[in-house]
Chain A
Amino acid sequence: MAMREIHLCVPVLARVEGEGALDLQVRNGRIETLRLRIFEPPRLFEKFLEGREYGEVPDLVARICGICPVAYQMSAVQAMEGLFGLDPDPWVHAMRRVFYCGEWIQSHALHIHWLAAPDFLGYDSAVDMAATHAEVLRRGLTLQSLGNAIVNLLGGRSVHPVGVRVGGFYAAPQTAEVAVLWERLVAAVPDAEALVAWTAALPLPPGDQDFVSVALRHPYDYPMNGGRIIASDGLDIPISEYESHFAEYQVAHSTALFSALHDRPYLVGPLARLNLNEDRLYPPVRAALARTGIPFPSRNTFHSIVARAVEIHQSLLEAIDLLTDYREPPRPAASGSPRAGIGFGATEAPRGLLWHRYELDSAGVVRHVRLVPPTSQNQARIEEDLWNDLEALGVDQDEDVLRKRAEMIIRSYDPCISCATHFLRVRVGQV
């Protein structure tokens, strides 16, 4: 075999949220270096939050990520309420799930159609697909806008929604607006179901890797905003013990910290959730998934796109369910008073587990914060995946083929670099 050196540098990754890059060096048919470089400047959120009152936190943490602000708000309010011993009414819990369903639907629909699908269909962007796949795009846009409409209902707008407060919501939607939205949601069910089949029928490359999946597990719900942290290696812990098992480290090539579970890379996100919680899906969703013929748990990361479609289907049915016979509550939020101590919050952002820890003083002023977003947890796993996959593919391939493949893999994780870099720790390695 000819001696070959490849230096592959993708300076800006297209169709990912935020800006990252990839460096790949191959010598003599072996990968020598492989780095997912994240150079987006840090925004030092943990520092800004210090000295703020707990009530300001939901509005501020939303700004970490425009794509999953709901997730940040939900993890934050969970942490505060846990610390204050505040247990909101069932109405609040139900509406929070509805709210979160909206974010999953919009974020997943955006990823499937705008970011991932062009890869599998051979286009550079969704706009290029418009002529040949008009119907698919229309369906995608409908679902995406429904997701936004759900978030708008409770939050006023879908990016950095303004309706969330510790204890619940600032205002309850009116019955009439809910009824209008409900009709739209019901009408979209066939679209969601069709989307599952459509993603499964895409020419997804094969893949078979051994990796650990990590997700929340709830006694009876598909995991979203509550439960314990479990892993496919048998881990099963309350969220407050996260730091005893997961450790982070800094590498030179990334402004985001890497994360490891017992020193191993691991996967979070829709595929990990589905791998660990398939039994929590609604029966019609399970049936739709079964019809695809893809066996779960899956060891192929390209199946993430199918997992996203499944979660859209699940979220849509769940939102419909929770909004059926909607009634305005006497109060849209529970009230309580702050307490000094440490609160933990962990919810499933569209891209995976989002873990928060807040240390507050007795006046409810934030003293210390730690936020672990999904993308930094996936970083090591993405590099591992790339390494394995590209070597299996054969690094003697054309540079262009390697690059396309690498980008496709990275995109299937739907990394969100904005989230990743807004994560910063104060005392690395001292967990």
Chain B
Amino acid sequence: MDAKLRLAVHKFSSCDGCQLAFLNMGADLLKLADLVDIVHFAEAGPMAPDATVDIAFVEGSISTPEDEERIRLVRKNSRHLVAMGACATAGGLQALRNRTAGADWIAAIYPQPEFIHALPTSTAVAAHVIVDEELWGCPVNGRQVLDAVRGRLFGVAPAVKNDKVCLECKRQQSVCVLVAHGAPCMGPVTRTGCGALCPHLQRDCYACYGPAENPNTRALGRRLADLGFSSAAIARRFLSINSAAPVFQDAGGLWQKGDHGDA
């Protein structure tokens, strides 16, 4: 029998919610601990931040000079690096500071900003090192994490999951909240994976899984404008959890300028 795969979970700037995809998986977590060697996962106990591993899950965005160095080390020590969650794949909600002068904010907020060592931006892991697999979502769920681990155990490439939330919404036979209620649903431009939770609860998707493939942000923005939403409100739909994902960043930027995208 081959040696067990070695697994690490690293945390950067984040809310810890994606790590809970592990800690909330119940009996599967014990099974996982049986199948692989969890060598580093500070929140769960094992500590070996500098160990070399076969698969490293990285939660959080890169937002300090130390983070920049540490992520390079993690990359060097990991055969397969998985960026997990909106912070790691797109910089997270905290990347909203990238749009303004982040350093000024810190100065405005802290009486002694010199104590705070933070970069002016919060960026995705892929902006710093090569990423082998991305799990989008704020937060990712247990299914995504288990599939990633299972894929490594089988030794196969990650499956591509970039369809839109709408398709999953319809498979669940949820009534479209955009069409039936005029809600500003982001499902038509948002990546699948959550299980279309929001429309299932009869509310608009707010794009926490980031952009889907081939998204037509322009057409959706125009539709929201027809429904009576202001340019600023439409801009905020894009500039939220995944504001630094390029597609949303561009769309949000245009609407923020009041540009209706018709030019």
Contact = CB atoms under 8 A, between A and B. Distances in A.
Interface stretch (A62-70, A234-242, A306-314): A62-70
Interface in B100-144: 102, 105-106, 108-112, 115-118, 122, 138-139, 141
A19 interface: yes
B165 interface: no
A127 B44 contact: yes
Contact of A159 (B20, B105, B202): B20
Nearest to A123: B45
Given A67-B20, A418-B16, A171 B203 contact: yes
B90 interface: no
A170 B181 CA distance: 13
A148 interface: yes
Interface string A408-431: 000000001010001011101100
Given A42-B116, A65-B16, A130-B33, A157 B46 contact: no
B23 interface: yes
A156 B108 CA distance: 37
Overall SS of chain A's interface: loop
A138 B197 CA distance: 28
B30 interface: yes
User: Chain B interface: which size bin?
Assistant: 35 or more
B11 A250 contact: no
B105 A44 contact: yes
A156 B93 contact: no
Contacts of A43: 13, 63, 92-94, 122
A52 interface: yes
A67 to B, nearest CB: 6
A130 B30 contact: yes
User: Chain A interface: which size bin?
Assistant: 35 or more
Contacts of A342: none
A42 B20 contact: no
A44 B43 contact: no
Given A44-B94, A66-B18, A424-B109, A160 B141 contact: no
B24 interface: yes
26 contacts: A14-B46, A16-B42, A41-B63, A41-B117, A43-B13, A43-B63, A43-B93, A43-B122, A45-B93, A47-B96, A47-B105, A48-B97, A63-B93, A66-B16, A66-B139, A67-B20, A114-B44, A130-B30, A137-B30, A158-B20, A159-B18, A159-B24, A160-B138, A171-B203, A416-B16, A424-B110
Interface of A: 12-19, 39-48, 52-53, 56, 59-60, 63-67, 69, 106, 110, 114-115, 118, 123-128, 130, 137-138, 141, 144-145, 148, 156-160, 162-163, 165, 169-171, 250, 252, 255, 416, 418, 422, 424-426, 428-429
Given A41-B13, A41-B116, A156-B201, 12 more contacts: A12-B42, A41-B64, A48-B93, A114-B44, A114-B45, A127-B30, A157-B141, A160-B139, A162-B197, A171-B201, A416-B16, A422-B15
